[in-house]
Amino acid sequence: MISYVVSLMFFGISNLPPDQEYTVSFADHPRLLFTRQDLPEIRERIENVEWARKVYAGIRRNADAWLDREVVLPDRGSQWWHWYSCKKDGARLQTKSDTEHVCSVCGTVYTGYPYDDVVLASKHGRFADAIWDTGFMYQVTGDARYADKGKEILLAYAEKYLTYPLHNIHGEAKVGGGRVGPQSLDESTWLIRVAQGADMIWDTLTGSEVRKVSEDLFYPAAVDVIQKHRMGIHNIQCWKNSAVGLTGFLLGDKDLVWDAIESDHGYRQQMAQGVRPDGPWFEGAWGYHFYTLSALWSLTEAAYHNGINLYGSELKSMFDAPIDFAMPNLHLPAFNDSGEVKIAGNSLYEVAYARYGEPKYRRVLTHRNSKQAMLYGVVEPGQDVTASQGSRNYTGSGYAILSKGEGIDATWLCVDYGPHGGGHGHPDKLNFVLYAGGEVIAPDPGTAHYGVPIQQEWYRQTIAHNTLTVDEHSQKPAEGRTVAFDAALDAVMLEAGDIYDGVTFYRSAILVTPGLILLIDQAVADAEHTFDFAYHTYGVWTRVPEGAPWTPPDKPGYMHIRDAMSRDISGETQLIAAIDDDRQTSVTILTDRETRLIWGTGIGSNTEDRVPMIIARQKGRKARVIWAISLTRTAPELEFIPLSGTRHALGVRVKHPDKYHDTNAYVWIANPAGETVDFAGQEITEPLTRIPADAQR
């Protein structure tokens, strides 16, 4: 081991505080993904374990294919992958050739800039993978041909890198852009793989070659492109930290290591400020939670192999949370700027289980076909650990989860009331996702590519979510709070926070049985407003009331509603949607005031993927709607219960005569203001109360 106590950055910039030394003990190369001491265990895994052998075979095929391949780098850097969608319907494009890019929905063919340049990202990525794969093959086999090919590609980039113009997603030569990619983010993800591959062939480079790749590739990329652009506490900064840190570990530069780990934007601050108390990444989007973890692990492993243990409690909570928060099928909902995220088989848990040994990680160690499994996978992780968690409320991140039943067919409802999520948050406070019988029933719309209009026109609008829109304008960023939570009753009352000036919105969610979900929505305002309570469900409408065509306003969100009909309703109204040939759900709406019911379709994965939706519209200073979602065609019996001496409390009698329920009915009283309510001889002041209906007699 060599201890570096003093070093100078290539560009003469030190980030260390004055008069402070930072000591790093660098292992011999390789030292980013593993050390020489780890190689026997890796080889043994490849020889004796089928899944590791398959991963290795894929790496070998790719490395062998490169041995006789000419190295011709792209003549320019790439462009933003978010441009790679159809402008008409938001669907992602398919690459027919380097110059032909076809919409998968409408068939439109796009050519030229920026589409041709987006494709270059995969080409640069394949070169990075080639350095990694040939480097790994050299370490495992000792065959110098692999090292020679990896070195050839590495030196080609050292020769070419500074000729690539700095450019951002708009083609401008500005800080925040990249040379290989259009952002310092893209530069980071690429440089991490290149550094890992270079580390595995580093000892084969001559002194002049080391200086060439250091001065003309790694330092310019890490310092001049990546380090100059800082994002504070952010998933992108985590990628940048890893790229800078790996460059530091590769080159033996402790200043870069300090910047990546100890600075005010470094790893330790990302953990301290970016991780919610119960584990989710602060941006509130599960896709970005794992995107952040994907950035972190390469730095934590490089540090680990050089004597710095970053595997602390905050990082562990980031691995714990997805399992704790997941739907019964081990998927996570598409909240904020995220699609639905599958946990089972996620390769990051190979690293996590190797470092933490947490038994519940065994649940997701499936489909072990990753490089992480080959490098770190515990061969016999033990039995699958499963447990029914029941209803729970995570106040640190603002997710209330109601759950009944066992296994993959359990019913699961999650209401999002937490912090907005910064730049990746959506204006959707008290939005929910409903899962039952192995699939999502009521979805969050998720996200689209950021480079197409539909992202702002639909996915980032409140009406696209299962929550309240006021005056046809989206909510303000806000953070809600828990008013009441009862795990035994599978019930929660939440308040949305400052979503609109002068408006207070309460939602009570109750999992009455595995087949019945009750929602009590109450809104109060200091002025007259139009209140639109929206609900979206997968499937197709098979039963709706008679109505007249309704023309949506030309406003964000509403402008994308199609096939809309409406009618005025009072009392109970039922709609039925067919999820598939064997499954239907019913939605019963109960109102006691003038309500305009609007139904039609919203957007799914693109403008031609239609998702049934309902809007219950009321006007005034108060609005209240009761929703009963039955997971069968059978509608529950609902009845408003008069409550005297109260301005805000609401009572509803619920009976659901299906296989899930006994013969008893219950009265639920939603009393968000904590008023004294006299009911059946009882004085009730609790926010949310359940009383047997027989108590009325």
Q: Are residues 215 and 316 in the same domain?
A: no
Q: Are residues 403 and 478 in the same domain?
A: yes
First to last CA, the chain: 82
- Show the domain range for 50: 42-79+114-229
DSSP state of 606: S
Q: Are residues 214 and 238 in the same domain?
A: no
Residue identified by tokens 């991140």 is 397
CA dihedral 243, 299, 354, 326 (to 10 degrees): -80
Band of the pLDDT at 6, cuts 50, 70, 90? very low
Q: Quick check: 238 and 296 in contact, CB under 8 A?
A: yes
Q: Are residues 222 and 292 in the same domain?
A: no
Q: What is the pLDDT of residues 456-482, one digit of tens each?
A: 999 999 999 999 999 999 999 999 999
- Please determine, for residue 3, whether its predicted confidence score (pLDDT) is greater than 90: no
Mean pLDDT of 97-106: 95
Two structure tokens written together for 661: 């329920």
Question: In the listed set 387, 406, 426, which residue is the last one of a domain according to the structure?
Answer: 387
- Give domain status of residue 11, yes or no: no
- Give domain status of residue 368, yes or no: yes
Predicted pLDDT at 680: 82
Q: Are residues 180 and 281 in the same domain?
A: no
Q: What is the percentage of the chain residues whose pLDDT exceeds 70?
A: 95
Predicted pLDDT at 664: 64
Two structure tokens written together for 342: 């599958």
Q: What is the pLDDT of residues 193-243, one digit of tens each?
A: 999 999 999 999 999 999 999 999 999 999 999 999 999 999 999 999 999
- Give domain status of residue 675, yes or no: no
- Please determine, for residue 388, whether its predicted confidence score (pLDDT) is greater than 90: no
Q: Are residues 509 and 522 in the same domain?
A: yes
Predicted pLDDT at 58: 98
Mean pLDDT of 486-515: 97
- Please determine, for residue 578, whether its predicted confidence score (pLDDT) is greater than 50: yes
Query: What is the sign, positive or negative, of the torsion defined by CA atoms of 391, 392, 393, 399?
Result: negative
Mean pLDDT of 481-497: 98
Q: Are residues 319 and 443 in the same domain?
A: no
Question: In the listed set 637, 662, 682, which residue is the last one of a domain according to the structure?
Answer: 637
Q: What is the pLDDT of residues 426-460, one digit of tens each?
A: 999 999 999 999 999 999 999 999 999 999 999 99
Predicted pLDDT at 15: 52
Q: Are residues 296 and 314 in the same domain?
A: yes
| Residue 515, CA distances (Å) to 213, 218, 438, 633 in order | 62, 58, 13, 10
CA dihedral 171, 457, 340, 395 (to 10 degrees): 110
In this structure, the number of other CB atoms found within 10 A of the CB of residue 2 comes to 9
Band of the pLDDT at 334, cuts 50, 70, 90? very high
- Give domain status of residue 293, yes or no: yes
Two structure tokens written together for 696: 């009325």
List all residues 6 or more positions away from 602 whose beta carbon is below 8 Å from its beta carbon. 445, 458, 463, 464, 536, 560, 561, 610, 611, 612, 613
- In angstroms, the CA 22 to CA 17 distance is 10
Q: Are residues 436 and 534 in the same domain?
A: yes
Q: Are residues 66 and 178 in the same domain?
A: yes
- Give domain status of residue 662, yes or no: no
Q: Quick check: 576 and 541 in contact, CB under 8 A?
A: yes
Question: In the listed set 344, 359, 387, which residue is the last one of a domain according to the structure?
Answer: 387
Band of the pLDDT at 12, cuts 50, 70, 90? very low
Query: How many residues comprise the chain?
Result: 697
Please return the burial class of 65, using the count of CB atoms within 10 Å of its CB with bins 0-12, 13-18 and 19+: exposed
Q: What is the pLDDT of residues 183-193, one digit of tens each?
A: 999 999 999 99
Is residue 553 classed as helix, strand or coil in its secondary structure? coil
Two structure tokens written together for 71: 């190295």
Domain count, the chain: 3
- Give domain status of residue 685, yes or no: no
- Please determine, for residue 268, whether its predicted confidence score (pLDDT) is greater than 50: yes
- Give domain status of residue 593, yes or no: yes
Q: What is the CATH number of the domain that holds 119?
A: 1.50.10.100
- Give domain status of residue 588, yes or no: yes
Rounded to 5 degrees, φ, ψ at 6 are -125, 130
**What's the whole-number average pLDDT of the chain?**
93
Q: What is the pLDDT of residues 65-80, one digit of tens each?
A: 999 999 999 999 999 9
- Please determine, for residue 639, whether its predicted confidence score (pLDDT) is greater than 70: yes
Q: Are residues 297 and 221 in the same domain?
A: no
Q: Are residues 411 and 550 in the same domain?
A: yes
Predicted pLDDT at 657: 63
